[in-house]
Chains A and B, each alone.
Chain A
């Protein structure tokens, strides 16, 4: 028995020893590879920067660079990164020159091949190219669109962003909808896409707003994403559709699962400065005690900034609300600053307000010097 146990132990020891050595070897190997890669990247960065600067200053012709890339196909990624950095920082002629370089077929063909490949990593790299270079993406929306059905959410996200370059509202709305249907997509991702949704062309705004309102009420989308879209509509200033959001606020039943949505609508309306929101908030205050809605109301009232709004904002200083809510209101009153300063001595302060908070508000207003609020 004893000898058997000892044999077993020997085997175990050998086994563990082998595993340990393998782990050590793998560790050292990964380390060296990582280091080698980092060093190579650094040296190449230097080399390519010189080439690009030479091109910008007119010492190197474009076809020379094209040739260089054709001869060194692995340089393309870094070349793109560096030129992209330059074109983001430059304006005017210099920028056009870089853009002309990036429009070379060497680049486009390479990146189209990437988005058509099977490896997730490559597809993502390809999408980044089109995401960064809007004017190129515009011509290849058809190639990007199928990726909206990809199983990896990061790719759907990147594809949606790239499609935001399109001039056609329908393309953009479709991409946004595909993204939002995915429950796993984060709110941040949705916002990221939404911020690119709006175009400079004012004539499109009505159409864009219409598509967004359709998405807000689309029962196929998770309510969290619908909330994000509602808030973003306020943030992007779709004033024409404020009326619609207000109606939605009136008609949405007040049950638990709708609370974040209602809070979102209030935030959004606040950003749109719609004065009727004040009435709605007054109505909601009679029946609601959700912190989410109360906070949204405070934010909205501070933004709307009318006399009635400020008056209602002071109402939140009442001690019947949580201390947190009182504080939130106080901070927003402080931020309204001069206006509130004139009004603070007047009758707005509720009778049951916390005297300490009132004292501090009075003390702090107009007291922040040196870049207050940076």
Chain B
């Protein structure tokens, strides 16, 4: 009798089946922004906004996947939600900060968590900026631009 083994791979392997984001090589591409967020319509909104500007934009709606994508694409900026399926946002942040990037990405937390403690934790773990929801689209763009300078 063959016993079915449940296989749960938890993300150590090289991402094999990642979607093709059509991202150009680092040397010639526009600044790449990765948004890790589980709200679909927000993702679409940002996708539209950033694609109309001289930026490249990639998305992920799951903490694990987002972490993997970040490691493969090494984006310039990560917009990170804290409440995520897969892996909590703070753990994604921590893992990115501990990972060997050539240039550490700038990370902006964009979350509905707005307690003092959340913001403190976010910065302590190495976020470059913290924005709370609800937010202004324009403000996000301005902050992204400032961090890219």
Residues of A participating in the B interface, judged by any CB pair closer than 8 Å:
45, 49-50, 52-53, 56-57, 82, 85-86, 88-95, 371, 374
Inter-subunit contact B137/A94 (CB<8 Å): yes
The reply on B20 being an interface residue by CB < 8 A is no
Q: A89-B135, A90-B136, A93-B136 are in contact. Are A374 and B121 (CB under 8 A)?
A: yes
Q: Which of B6-14, B42-50, B60-68, B98-106 contacts A (4 or more CB under 8 A)?
A: B42-50
Specify which of A45, A56, A91, A94 is in contact with B40 (CB 8 Å cutoff). A45
**Nearest Cβ distance between residue B121 and chain A, in whole angstroms?**
6
A85 near B136: Cβ-Cβ < 8 Å: no
Could you list 8 further interchain pairs (A-B, Cβ under 8 angstroms) beyond the known A57-B49, A86-B41, A92-B138? A49-B44, A52-B41, A53-B48, A57-B52, A90-B134, A90-B135, A90-B137, A92-B136
A49 partner residues in chain B, CB cutoff 8 A: 40-41, 44
Cβ-closest chain A residue relative to B49: A57
A-B contact count (CB 8 A): 49
Q: Could you give 10 example pairs across A and B, Cβ below 8 Å?
A: A49-B40, A53-B48, A56-B45, A57-B49, A85-B39, A85-B42, A88-B134, A90-B134, A92-B138, A374-B117
Residue of B nearest to A82 (CB): B41
Residues of A within 8 A of B52 (CB): 57
Interface membership of B146, Cβ < 8 A: no
CB distance from B12 to the nearest CB of A (A): 23
Q: What is the chain B residue whose CB lies nearest that of A56?
A: B45
Convert B135-149 into 0s and 1s, putting 1 for each residue whose CB lies closer than 8 angstroms to a CB of A: 111110000000000
Q: Is residue B133 contacting chain A, with contact meaning CB distance below 8 A? A: yes
Contacts A88-B134, A90-B134, A371-B121; A57 near B41 (Cβ below 8 A): no
Q: Which residue of A lies closest to B136 (CB)?
A: A92
Central interface residue in A53, A89, A90, A374, by most chain B CB within 10 Å: A89
Instruction: Give the interface size bracket for B toward A.
Output: 20 to 34
Question: Which residues of B are interface residues toward A (Cβ below 8 A)?
Answer: 39-42, 44-45, 48-49, 52, 90, 112, 117, 121, 133-139
Query: Interface of chain B, helix or strand or loop or mixed?
Result: helix
Identify the closest chain A residue to B52 (Cβ).
Answer: A57
CB distance from A52 to the nearest CB of B (A): 7
A92 to B141: give the CA distance in the assembly, Å: 14
Chain A contact residues: helix, strand, loop or mixed: helix
Given A371-B121, A374-B121, residue A86 in contact with residue B45 (CB < 8 A): yes
Chain A residue with the shortest CB-CB distance to B43: A49
* A1 CB to nearest B CB, Å: 48
A88 to B112, CA, bound (A): 10
Residues of B with C-beta under 8 A to A91? 134-136
The listed residue (A45, A89, A93, A95) touching B42 by CB distance below 8 A is A89
Give Cα A372–Cα B135 distance, bound, in whole angstroms: 28
How many Å lie between the Cα of A94 and that of B137 in the bound state? 8
CB neighbours (8 Å) of B136 from chain A are: 90-94
- Least CB distance from B31 to A in Å reads 20
With both chains docked as a complex, state the minimum distance between the C-beta of A61 and any C-beta of chain B, in angstroms. 17
What chain A residues lie within 8 Å of B39 (beta carbons)? 85, 89
Which residues on A sit within 8 Å (CB–CB) of B138? 92-93
Name which residue of chain A comes closest to B44, CB basis. Answer: A49
What is the CA–CA distance of A56 and B134 in the complex, to the nearest angstrom? 15
Q: How many angstroms from the CA of A88 to the CA of B45 in the assembled complex?
A: 14
Task: Tell me how far the C-beta of B115 lies from the nearest C-beta in chain A, rounded to whole angstroms.
Answer: 11
Task: Write the nearest CB–CB distance from B144 to chain A, whole angstroms.
Answer: 16
A89 close to B134 (CB less than 8 A): yes
CB-defined contacts of B90 to chain A, threshold 8 Å: 371, 374
**Minimum Cβ distance to chain B for residue A49 (Å):** 5
Which chain B residues border A85 with CB–CB below 8 Å? 39, 41-42
